[in-house]
Amino acid sequence: MCGMKHGGDETDSGIPIDPLYLPSGKYDYLDDIGFPGLFPFTRGIYPAMYRERIWTMRQYSGLASVSESNRRFKNLFAKGQTGLSVAFDLPTQMGYDSDHPVAEGEVGKAGVPIDTQEDMDDLFSDIPLDRVSVSMTINATAAVILAMYLAAAKKRGIPMAKLSGTIQNDILKEYLARGTYIYPIGPSLRLTRDIITFCAVECPRWNYISVSGYHIREAGATAVQELAFTFVNAIAYVEMVSRHGIVVDSLLGRVSFFFSANRDLFEEIAKFRAARRIWARIAKERWKAADEACRLRFHTHTGGSCLTEQQAENNLIRVSIQALAAVLGGTQSLHTCSYDEAYSLPSDESVSIALRTQQIIARESGILNTADPVGGSYFIESLTCKIEEEVFKEIEKIDRMGGAVSAIKSGYMQGEIHRSAYESQKRLEAREDKVVGVNCFEEPSPRRGVKTLSSDSRLGERQIERLRRHKNSRDHLFVAHRLDRLKKALKGDDNLIPYIIECVESSATLGEVSDALREVFGIYKGA
């Protein structure tokens, strides 16, 4: 759980805060701050920012069945959502079909289950995929989910070139923060590479990777660690793919990022500003990228770990502050958590309030009136510079280790995240960090009648029955033939995405494709 320092003398990352800020000689206006839309993009990646183009409102959603999830998508669009973000259940993320013994009790619990091409078709039923930007948070099974999505579009006659959105495809952070990995690091990176190189040619509007700091932060990292570890992972991806013939400037234009917004309003604003400047300088100094290719585009998700079960209504205020930080920090898209997520998947009522939070900020706060309204704040600019300084120190340390993959294999980044999480929990339990309703201003009835989502307990059983019908109705020999072709390709160096598309179009399941990869690649045993 994230908390705020009780004395107010330092940020969440331990950066000292002065009682008063004055003009500083630590930064140069033109070199460090500049203008919106110009390198190093501290003030935003577009000249007019939200005066010209508002951020995409993209609520992260996935319920216990494809039909319920489709209903939620349509409901959110009717309420003004402008992009889709799909949450998958744990078996789907880990490459298991819903009828696998390992999946028992987890089907549809934390997102939508996707076993087959039919599931993907129904998930996006009556949603115009050529006109809607779709984000899918998936990593270990990203290649299979992408293949199903492309096949779903093909069945509707929609060319790949018209699809827009992103598939997260950030496997490195799974090894250091989240844990939904399957295969060893090398083969996993091959899948990441193949997705990028395939989409670079076939899907020109698709962001083929979204490098995630959010899950790193949720695991307990500080704001500085969130940026540093995210950027070293991004460096690893760019340098891996650039060795396979993609021009860096072209590659960078479709790399996006995914960050958390936590409670420290000013540190978070400064973090986003620093992130743009850091990435711009990395791109310029390491790869001699053109200015336009140095733009950092990012999605923001308000901090799930900041939500409390106690006095859950207070989460409404927490989310509002975090969303404000993201918008003042210049995000390109935003998810706002629902206040009841400490209990369950969000209800229709709570997810509607979460969306309305964004809409109120956009339409009633005056934030749209000028580009970068916080630019020039002595405090924010000073904090931005300090975060940048600390992040570069951490990046340089990991560079000396040999980069992100070496730092993961040694356990360095995992250890640093665990240390930060431990120290944060100690401060919380010692009441040094204050969380209202948890360790201060407690009330005897902390749950006070919060209505939670009521889901049919039989939906998981229905998904398994749906899967059984699918398996019984297909051409088993044809499926086996396609899976054998994939296994042979796994032993060579061909791009794997066309083979995986063939498999899912033949009615192979997500679990069967993942098992084929397990058979050849093996599984990751840990650092």
Residues 67-85: what's their mean pLDDT? Answer: 97
Q: What percent of the chain has pLDDT over 90?
A: 90
Q: What angle do CA 518, 521, 522 make, to 5 degrees?
A: 60
Residue 515, domain member (yes or no): no
Residue 72: count other Cβ atoms within 10 Å of its Cβ: 19
DSSP calls for 275-334? HHHHHHHHHHHHH---GGGG---EEEEE-GGG--STTGGGHHHHHHHHHHHHHHTT-SEE
**In terms of residue numbers, what domain contains 199?**
4-43+50-434
Q: What is the pLDDT of residue 455?
A: 64
pLDDT tens string 88-106: 999 999 999 999 999 999 9
Q: Is the pLDDT of residue 6 over 80?
A: no
**Residue 288 near residue 252, CB atoms below 8 Å:** no
Higher pLDDT, 410 or 344: 410
**Residue 117 near residue 469, CB atoms below 8 Å:** no
**pLDDT band at residue 8 under the 50/70/90 scheme:** low
Q: Is the pLDDT of residue 225 over 90?
A: yes
Angle between helices 185-202 and 142-155 (to 10 degrees): 30
Q: Is the pLDDT of residue 452 over 70?
A: no
Residue 95, domain member (yes or no): yes
Q: Is the pLDDT of residue 123 over 70?
A: yes
- Mean residue pLDDT of the chain comes to 94
Q: Three-state SS for 515?
A: helix
Characterize the bridge pairing of strands 4-5 and 433-434. Answer: antiparallel
Residues contacting residue 160 through CB under 8 Å, at least 6 positions apart: 150, 153, 154, 202, 203, 206
Residue 430: count other Cβ atoms within 10 Å of its Cβ: 10
Q: Compute the distance between CA of residue 81 and CA of residue 141 in angstroms, rounded to an integer.
A: 27
Taking the model in full, what pTM does it have?
A: 0.95
Residues contacting residue 131 through CB under 8 Å, at least 6 positions apart: none
Q: Is the pLDDT of residue 86 over 50?
A: yes
Residue 487, domain member (yes or no): no
Residue of 504, 416, 483 lying closest to 149 (CA atoms) = 504
Q: What is the pLDDT of residue 29?
A: 84
Residues 497-518: what's their mean pLDDT? Answer: 98
Q: Compute the distance between CA of residue 449 and CA of residue 460 in angstroms, rounded to an integer.
A: 27
Residues 164-192: what's their mean pLDDT? Answer: 97
Domain count, the chain: 1
**First and final C-alpha spacing in the chain:** 26
Residues 60-72: what's their mean pLDDT? Answer: 95
Residue 502, domain member (yes or no): no
Residue 484, domain member (yes or no): no
pLDDT tens string 229-253: 999 999 999 999 999 888 999 999 9
Q: Which of 74-78, 243-247, 451-455 has the lowest mean pLDDT?
A: 451-455
Residue 513, domain member (yes or no): no
Residue 343, domain member (yes or no): yes
Q: Is the pLDDT of residue 303 over 50?
A: yes
Residue 522, domain member (yes or no): no
Q: Is the pLDDT of residue 3 over 60?
A: no
DSSP at 112: B
Domain of residue 315, CATH code: 3.20.20.240
Q: Compute the distance between CA of residue 361 and CA of residue 363 in angstroms, rounded to an integer.
A: 6
